[in-house]
Structure 1
Amino acid sequence: MSSQQTLLEFAHSDEAEKFAAASVPHLVTGVGKINAALGLTEALLAAPAERIGRVVVLGTAGALNDDARLDTVYQIEAVVQHDFSLPSPKLVPSGAIVAPHTALLATGDVFVQNDAQRQSLADLGASLVDMESYAYAAVCDRLGVLLQIFKVPSDFADSSTTQEEWDDIAVSKSEQLFAFVEKHLPELLA
């Protein structure tokens, strides 16, 4: 098991900017569940047999309640899919909990921007929302790879943030994620 490596993964290059500047190896899959599933699956299957033993996802998420702190990185303890009409199970990432703050995250292929959507997702028990994590969790579960997901809120998932503004916000959140990794997962930077 010691020969297995960790794959550091982001959905968007803006989220990875600080890591790229520091020459930290990583994968950017692209935004949305399809890009996430295909990108991660390709990377895992392209690696030599049993070479990647853990995936660590870092990125941004929208906050679904006003108590969320925009300066805090949350470890995702479970993820649900919110935009699929058939029942889908809650998925629990299999990696160890190392962060002081945890959250339930809802994933769907939509940029949540209004209070009705936000409340609907909060009613599922989620405190954060993104567009990829359920896909990452499903791939890792299916392929038997350990998974840890860490998200920092970029905004409050409402009309106050546009998609255009998100790009600038994501770059600053990359610095927060880097500082978190330095403190809690320094082996990823070695």
Structure 2
Amino acid sequence: MSQEFALMMALPNESKGLFEQAGIEVHYSGIGKVNAAFKAFEVIQKTGCKVLLNLGTAGSSHFDAHALVEVTQFVQRDMDVSPLGFAVGVTPMDDDHPAEIRLDSYFQHLPQGICGTGDSFEIGQPKVPCNLVDMEGYAIAKVCKKLGVRLVSVKYITDGANETAHLDWEENLLLGARKLLELYQMVK
């Protein structure tokens, strides 16, 4: 059975149960690129969705805390094969997919950002140019590109990707879940 949209988030902490209370099915991936890639593939195969909507949280020293930002480009902030002569962020010998994965904008009213994905909770300046950071988005984007499914990704900025990021992330999750739910209801 095919559906138009499927919703994916990393953790139940990011939805705070609000989506489920509203009767919305959420597919949770878990943390990190491997979990995200596996879950994105599974969701696309299971639902036959045409659009995978990824809502979640991110850190940023560029965007204000509590902002919703639509990601229009993903990069890998932790892919570093520079000792072999490759630029940071480039996956060697992956000719089919460039280091940057671009997405078409869906929400014209939201600011747009470049998200650096990595398997670490970023508290500094990434090695690749980006203005927000997460731990799953690039992997989801790559799976969607390979399978021909549109990805729409919006991140709620919980923290400044700095030394207090872990505290700010936890403190701002409920407000973020409310804003993401309100945005989701605009889609449906």
| Residues 63/173 of structure 1: CA separation in 2 closer, same or farther (3 Å cut) | same
**One-letter amino acid matched to 1:171:** L
Name 1:16's counterpart in structure 2: 15
1:74–1:99 Cα contact (<8 Å) kept: no
- The residue type paired with residue 61 of structure 2 is L
8 Å Cα contact 2:33/2:135 also seen in 1: yes
Report if the CA contact (8 A) 1:77-1:102 is conserved.
yes
Give the superposed CA RMSD.
1.9
Task: Give the equivalent residue in structure 2 for 1:120.
Answer: 126
CA contact (8 A) 1:54 1:146 kept: yes
Q: Which runs of 5 or more residues in structure 2 are unaligned?
A: 82-89, 92-98
Q: TM-score, normalised by structure 1?
A: 0.82
Q: In 2, Cα distance between the equivalents of 1:45 and 1:4? A: 11
Task: Within 5 Å, give how 1:6-155 maps onto structure 2.
Answer: 6-17=5-16, 18-47=18-47, 51-65=48-62, 68-86=63-81, 87-88=90-91, 89-94=99-104, 96-113=106-123, 118-121=124-127, 124-155=128-159
Give the distance between the partners of 1:44 and 1:169, measured in 2 at CA.
30
Q: Deviations over 1:95-132 (max 9, x none)?
A: 6343431101100000112xxxx2235xx331100000
- State whether residues 57 and 176 of structure 2, in contact with CA within 8 Å, keep that contact through their aligned partners in structure 1: yes
- Percent of paired sites with the same residue: 27
Name stretches of at least 5 consecutive residues in structure 1 with no aligned partner.
none
- The 1:154/1:38 distance shift into structure 2, 3 A limit, reads same
Q: Report the alpha carbon displacement of residue 46 of structure 1 after superposing the two structures with TM.
A: 2.6
Q: Decide whether the 8 Å contact of 1:95 with 1:146 is kept in 2.
A: no
Counterpart-to-counterpart distance in 2, 1:166 and 1:71: 10
Mapped contact 1:15–1:174 kept (Cα < 8 A): yes
Contact 1:60–1:152, Cα closer than 8 Å, also in 2: yes
